[in-house]
Amino acid sequence: MRVWVEALTPKQVVLFSYLQAELPGDVFLTTRDYDLNVELARRLWRKFYVVGRHGGRSLAGKLRQSIERSRRLARIALSEAPDVHVTFVSPDSSRVAFGLGIPTVAATDSPHSDAVNRLALPLSRLVVIPSFIAQELSAYAGLTTLVTFEGVFELARVLRGEGPREHHLEELGLEPLNYAVVRLGEEKAYYYPSRRAAFEAPLQLAVHLLKTTDLSLLVYPRYPDQARAARRALAPWTGRVKFLEKPTDLLSLEFYAALVITGGGTMAVEAALLGTPAVSTYPGRLSVFEYFKLRGFPLYQPPLSRDKLGLLARRGRQPRSWEQVLARLKETFQDPVRVLADAVRAAVGG
């Protein structure tokens, strides 16, 4: 079996990397020059191609990059001749695979990403989704086959990784349970409603922590211009603020953090899985947040009082047992990598 994987974000590069050991034959990756994708691909993938980059904030920029990426992806697909294509709903690669008659297995956990879903899901033979969003994507049931599982894709790294290691913190000069992670939002994504929600909202909470606690901050920007703006905003606390500039083991950083603040959902979900209090400033309802709250995982959204934020930070400084965390997750959820691998086999007839 020859498998072509397309991953557009660091989360996807990591998630799909586990398919290399789960599936027989050759598995290769296409990705784009964005965030930490390339560095992660070098670490985790035996074979990969870097094709294009993020299209930026403008619609014209996104369209130009999509056209250019599709052209280059078609050349790679023709050369590699894969039997099946796996993607986290990339419109570029889905269109190429469809045009070349290559069956696609898609994965998504973002029903709010409506434009991407409309472009990619109808071109897919199978779509793997968490069970709690099945109703939101039910309109696609007549266009493709929805495969549901109990859990979230973020479980892949937790269930299959080596577990948290303190030496990853030492490399960054951090002390366990004495820092907070701040991830800025995806402000250039078409579905993100405002720059304020993506950039200013996480930073406001970060500044409050710097003023009211002795926690250090590890800031994880998505774009160079975000990093520059955040450095300016946090300049008065330079001695307590570090910026993540190269790949490291995020699971370790999240597990040993007192608190995780993010403008998106992935790191909030990962941290909550590990028992670390997490706050997402994403300005809208996401089904995963409700799913987690009902199951007692520590995931929160504004409005939060300043007292509540301080309380979460104090709770997060209590030590956690990795063995207990892992046992709970294995009892509660399915392994998404195994579900994806089964879907790939089904797409190629066994």
The CATH class of the 165-332 domain is alpha beta
pLDDT score for 58: 83
Q: Dump strand ranges (E) for the chain.
A: 2-6, 26-33, 48-53, 84-87, 104-107, 126-130, 145-149, 179-183, 216-220, 241-243, 259-262, 278-280, 299-300
According to the model, what pLDDT value does residue 14 have?
94
Domain 2-151+334-347 CATH assignment equals 3.40.50.2000: yes
The pLDDT of residue 195: 67
Closest by Cα among 261, 256, 163 to 210: 261
Strands 278-280 and 126-130 come out as unpaired
Secondary structure class of 124 (helix, strand, coil): coil
Residues forming a β-bridge with 328? none
What gap in Å lies between CA 333 and CA 293, rounded to an integer? Answer: 15
Whole-angstrom distance, CA of residue 260 vs CA of residue 30: 30
> In the chain, which segments carry CATH 3.40.50.2000?
2-151+334-347, 165-332
Q: Residue ranges of the chain with pLDDT lower than 70?
A: 188-196, 350
Is 316 within 8 Å of 257 (Cβ atoms)? Answer: yes
> Crossing angle, helix 10-17 and helix 336-347, to 10 degrees?
70
The whole-number pLDDT of residue 215 equals 97
Question: Quick one: pLDDT at residue 234?
Answer: 96
CA atoms within 13 A on the CB side of 116: 20
pLDDT, position 189: 65
Q: Are strands 145-149 and 259-262 parallel, antiparallel or unpaired?
A: unpaired
Residue 33 dihedral angles phi and psi, to the nearest 5°:
-80, 90
pLDDT at site 193: 62
Closest C-alpha to 274, from 297, 308, 249: 297
Cβ-based neighbour number of residue 320 at 10 Å: 15
Vertex 146, ends 141 and 151: CA angle to 5°? Answer: 135
> Among candidates 47, 65, 56, 55, which has minimal Cα distance to 5?
47
- In the prediction, which pLDDT does 283 show? 82
Condensed to tens digits (0 to 9), the pLDDT of residues 97-149 reads 999 999 999 999 989 889 999 999 999 999 999 999 999 999 999 999 999 99
Q: Are 92 and 73 in contact (CB under 8 A)?
A: yes
Residue with tokens 């034959």: 25
Burial class (CB in 10 A: 0-12, 13-18, 19+), 235: exposed
pLDDT at 222: 84
Check if the beta carbon of residue 200 is closer than 8 Å to that of residue 266.
Answer: no
CA atoms within a 13 Å half-sphere pointing along the CA-CB vector of 235 = 4
Tokens representing 321? 């047992």
The model's pTM = 0.86
pLDDT of residue 147: 98
Structure tokens at 339: 């579900």
Which of 190, 192, 168 is CA-nearest to residue 181? 168
As given in the structure block, the two tokens for residue 155 are 């479980």
Sheet holding 26-33, edge to edge: 48-53, 26-33, 2-6, 84-87, 104-107, 126-130, 145-149
Q: What does the pLDDT read at residue 191?
A: 62
Taking Cα atoms as reference points, which of 220, 160, 214 lies closest to residue 184? 220
Per-residue model confidence (pLDDT) at position 54: 84
